[in-house]
Amino acid sequence: MSEARIIDGKAFAADLRGKIAEGVADVRARHALVPGLAVVLVGEDPASQVYVRNKGEQTREAGMHSVTHRLPADTTQDALLRLVDQLNHDPSIHGILVQLPLPAHIDSAAVLAAIDPAKDVDGFHVVNAGRLAVGLPALVPCTPLGCLMLLKDTVGSLRGLHAVVVGRSNIVGKPMAQLLLQADCTVTVAHSRTVDLAETCRRADILVAAVGRPEMVRGDWIKEGAVVIDVGINRVPARDPAAAAAGKTRLVGDVAFEEAKAFAGAITPVPGGVGPMTIACLLLNTLTAACRSRGLELPPMVTTARGTPV
């Protein structure tokens, strides 16, 4: 039994962002097209502030046009819908991301439904979910898209492999299953109602854990040599009891990493695995949306990047 290869999502994402930056330079030069991403943040949620700042920085680093709209927490739904409508009609904006969660007085579903599906770079609109489901070109949710790229880079062709996705959220589990099915995997979706989850996981050549429960997937749930993609990011008390008592925390995934390493052929760590891929795929979706708005193909340096599923 040899130890798993650690899939370096941080390096992969950095490489992908570099290719996207080259692609942006290419469409700027050849087509005078400047991909633009608008991020909308309502309220003062500290985690959201960090995400939004990172998204803005990485968008600019990729050479894209970046706009951030920071609205007060008491913004009305009507005002937010007016902003979305304005962005839908703004020709300099190709991607619109409304940062979740929204304040409780706003109907998130109504706001997400108001985004032009062609600019829905989060891939949460029902039209994009439907296009993905029936196999039409879609904007695909960033996290599962990033997982697929890591998998293709690690495994090569996924054809005929048995993929088990644990979790059935609209944001990760369900679109992940669709992508794996398109890649010709036999796909099993397991979840909290699955009767023998350990045994189901043991049948996986590819195991994607997206349940949000710290270290739920144990080492002996993993088939020898399987590729494990850990989507979970859970904050738990620090290992050292004194530090934990002082309120120190650490991040763990949905997979018990140290145990799993002994069984898996390859595995993503937390942090530094799937996490960095999400914003990189947001940039990829923005470039895709910009190119499609002009009827252009993605530039070749992007379509030939490692693991690119397009």
122 in active site:
yes
Of 114 and 129, nearer to a second copy (C-beta) is: 129
Q: Is 168 annotated as a binding residue?
A: yes
- At 136 the three-state DSSP class reads coil
Which residues bind to a second copy, rule: CB under 8 A? Answer: 125-136, 159-162, 168, 170, 174, 177-178, 181, 184-191, 193-195, 200
* Tokens of residue 187, six digits: 């796909």
Residue 233 among known ligand-binding residues = yes
Indicate the residue among 126 and 233 with the shorter CB distance to a second copy. Answer: 126
d(CA 66, CA 87): 12
Looking at residue 57, its amino acid is E
Please state the closest distance from residue 271 (CB atom) to a second copy, in A.
28
CB of 295 vs a second copy, minimal distance in Å: 17
* Single-letter amino acid code for the residue at 307: G
Which of 26, 122, 205, 254 is the catalytic position? 122
Residue of 19, 26, 58, 99 marked catalytic: 99
- Nearest-Å Rg of the Cα atoms of the chain is 20
15 is catalytic: no
Shortest separation between residue 161's beta carbon and a second copy, angstroms: 8
First to last CA, the chain: 35
Dihedral (Cα; 1, 10, 235, 265), 10-degree rounding: -10
From 55, 119, 223, 261, active-site residue: 55
Provide the residue type at 206 as one letter.
I
- Cα(204)–Cα(208) distance, rounded to whole angstroms? 9
Give the three-state DSSP class for 122: coil
CB of 228 to a second copy, least distance (A): 19
119 is catalytic: no
Which residue type occupies 23? G
User: β-strand 162-166 against 186-190: which pairing, if any?
Assistant: parallel
Q: Give the residue ranges of DSSP H helices in 138-172.
A: 142-155
User: Tokens at residue 103, please?
Assistant: 């304040």
Residue 189 backbone phi and psi in degrees, to 5: -105, 120
Judged by beta carbon, residue 181 or residue 251, the one nearer a second copy is 181
Taking the least distance from each CB to a second copy, the nearer of 185 and 280 is 185
Work out how close the CB of 136 gets to a second copy at its nearest, in angstroms, rounded to a whole number: 7
169 is an annotated ligand-binding site residue: yes
Residue 224 burial (CB < 10 Å; 0-12/13-18/19+)?
A: exposed
Annotated binding site for NADP(+): 167-169, 233
Write out the catalytic residue numbers. Answer: 55, 99, 122
Question: Which residues define the annotated binding site?
Answer: 167-169, 233
